[in-house]
Structure formats: C-alpha cells, structure tokens
Amino acid sequence: SNPDKMGTHLRQVLCEAEMRLQELGGLLDEPCGAALNTRASFSSMLSAGSTSSVTGCAGGDTEKQAVAWGRKAKTLKRLVLGFTQARPPDVPSLVALDITSKNTISVRLAEPTSQESSITTKFLGSFKAFFE
C-alpha cells in the first residue's frame, strides 16, 4: 500500500544518511532502525541531542559535511518516528447538525474525550439532499 511504501522509503533514506555520516567519521546516537520500532517521544529524541565528534565552524570540508549529514539524520529520525506513530483521529465526542436556512447547515464538533487523541485539523463530510 502507499503508506507502507512511504515508510519503507523514509527508513531507506534515513539508513543512507546514517551510512554517509559514518563514512565521514560522525558518531550516531543509535544504529539505523534501532529506534524505529519503539514508541519514543519527540521530546526524548530532541533531548538526546547530537553527539557528533565534529564541532565548530572552522573545520575542513569533511567535518562540515559530517555535521550536515548528522543534522539530516537527526531530522529524518524525527520524521520516521512521526510517520510510524501517526494514526487516524478519534471519533468526536459530539457531532451536532443544525439546519439554519433553506440552503445552509451548521455542523458543530466536540473534541474526543480521550487525552491521548491525535490532533485533528480537518474533517471530511458528505451528505445527499433528497427532494420530492
């Protein structure tokens, strides 16, 4: 399926970035794919920081490339984590439909009661009107 292909592609790009970083002498927090099957939080990944052996801006081209690949690998880890943890939103706790005029309706939605619900920014609705 399309989401499976996207997940596979993201993990492949992450592995390539981490291999490139290793070739340039940078250090990795975790080997390729190690944190992809866990439910780590974004905050834990952000607090882990980058542990690259290369620091400073005065280094040579190899050091600068290693820093850049380290940033790319860290960003890709966060992207893969977000992708693997994404899920459909929970059902709203209340859906109210009001007919406000001959051609207009109003829809009210209440947030799901679950505290662990994913953020929802858009709903898709459809209806049919039958005229006799």
Residue 60 is predicted with a pLDDT of: 81
Instruction: Please check whether residue 16 lies inside any domain of the structure.
Output: yes
Q: Residues 99, 101, 104, 109: what is their CA dihedral angle, to the nearest 10 degrees?
A: -30
Low-confidence ranges of the chain (pLDDT < 70): 1, 26-59, 132
Instruction: Please check whether residue 129 lies inside any domain of the structure.
Output: no
Instruction: Please check whether residue 105 lies inside any domain of the structure.
Output: no
Residue 48 is classified by DSSP as H
User: Structurally, how many domains does the chain consist of?
Assistant: 1
Token look-up 């280094």 returns 59
| pTM metric for this prediction | 0.49
User: What's the Cα-to-Cα distance from 22 to each of 13, 34, 129, rounded to whole Å?
Assistant: 14, 15, 61
Domain that holds residue 51: 2-85
Reading the block at residue 87, the tokens are: 């899920």
Instruction: Please check whether residue 19 lies inside any domain of the structure.
Output: yes
Instruction: Please check whether residue 11 lies inside any domain of the structure.
Output: yes
